[in-house]
Amino acid sequence: MLKPSDVEHLMGGRKVARIVYQPEEILLRVRELGREIAAAYPGGELLVLGLLKGSFIFLGDLVREIPRPLQVDFLVASSYGAEKVSSGNVRLVYDPETRLEGKHILLVEDIIDSGRTLNRLLELLAARQPKSLEICALLDKGLAADVLARKPKFLGFKAPNEFLVGYGLDHAEDFRHLPFVASLAE
C-alpha cells in the first residue's frame, strides 16, 4: 500500500495529501467493470467512446478487460475557454470519425463533476441515433446528481469532493501518469 511519502519522486516537488485509491484497488475495479459491461452488451456493435484527455488511461485499461468485440474512438469537448468554470456551452473539438447510428455507445469519462458538459455531450450523441447510449465513469463526486440527465450505468468509485489527480486526472496537465488517484496537498 503506497503512502504519500512513497510517491514524492513522481510528483516533482508537489505533495499529496492522501492517496484516495491505490493502484490495486483501481485495477480490481476496472476488471469488474469490464465483466459488467460485457454482460450488459451480449450482442450488437459496441463503441467505447473516450472523452479526452482525462479518460485515456482508464479507457485503455477498461477495453482490455471487456471480453467481447468492440470499437474504440475518442472525442474532445471544450466548455471552459479561458475560464476555470464550465460555461455549459459545449463544442466538440474532435468529433468521432466512427459511425454512431445503430451502435451501443458507451461514453467513458474520468470523473463526473458538475455534469454540464456531460449532459450536452449526451444530447449531441443521442441526436446521431445510437442503439443505446450509456455512461461509464471512473469517479463520481455526486455533485451532479440533480443536474445529470442520465446517471452513469457503470461507475468505478464514488469520489470525495477534493481536487484529485492521477490515473488520467490532471492539474495543469501534470500528474495524469500516476498509477493511483490522490488528493493534492495545498
Give the angle 34-149-138 at the CA atoms, nearest 5°.
30
| First-to-final CA distance of the chain | 23
Q: What is the pLDDT of residue 71?
A: 95
Sorting pLDDT into bands at 50, 70 and 90, what band is 89?
low
Is 6 among the catalytic positions?
Answer: no
Q: Which CATH number fits domain 30-184: 3.30.413.10, 3.40.50.300, 3.40.50.150, 3.40.50.2020?
A: 3.40.50.2020
47-67 pLDDT tens trace: 999 998 999 999 999 999 999
pLDDT of residue 117: 81
Mean pLDDT value across the chain: 87
Cα 171–chain centre separation: 15
Domain positions in the chain: 30-184
C-alpha 128/C-alpha 88 separation (Å) is 20
Comparing 95-99, 129-133, 167-171, the range with the smallest average pLDDT is 95-99
Q: Looking at residue 79, what is its pLDDT?
A: 60
Identified catalytic residue from 61, 110, 113, 140: 113
Whether this prediction's pTM lies above 0.85 is answered by yes
**HEC readout, 53-108:** CCCHHHHHHHHCCCCCCCEEEEEEEECCCCCCCCCCCCEEEECCCCCCCCCEEEEE
Per-residue pLDDT tens digits for 17-50: 899 999 999 999 999 999 999 999 999 999 999 9
β-pairing, 71-78 vs 46-52, is parallel
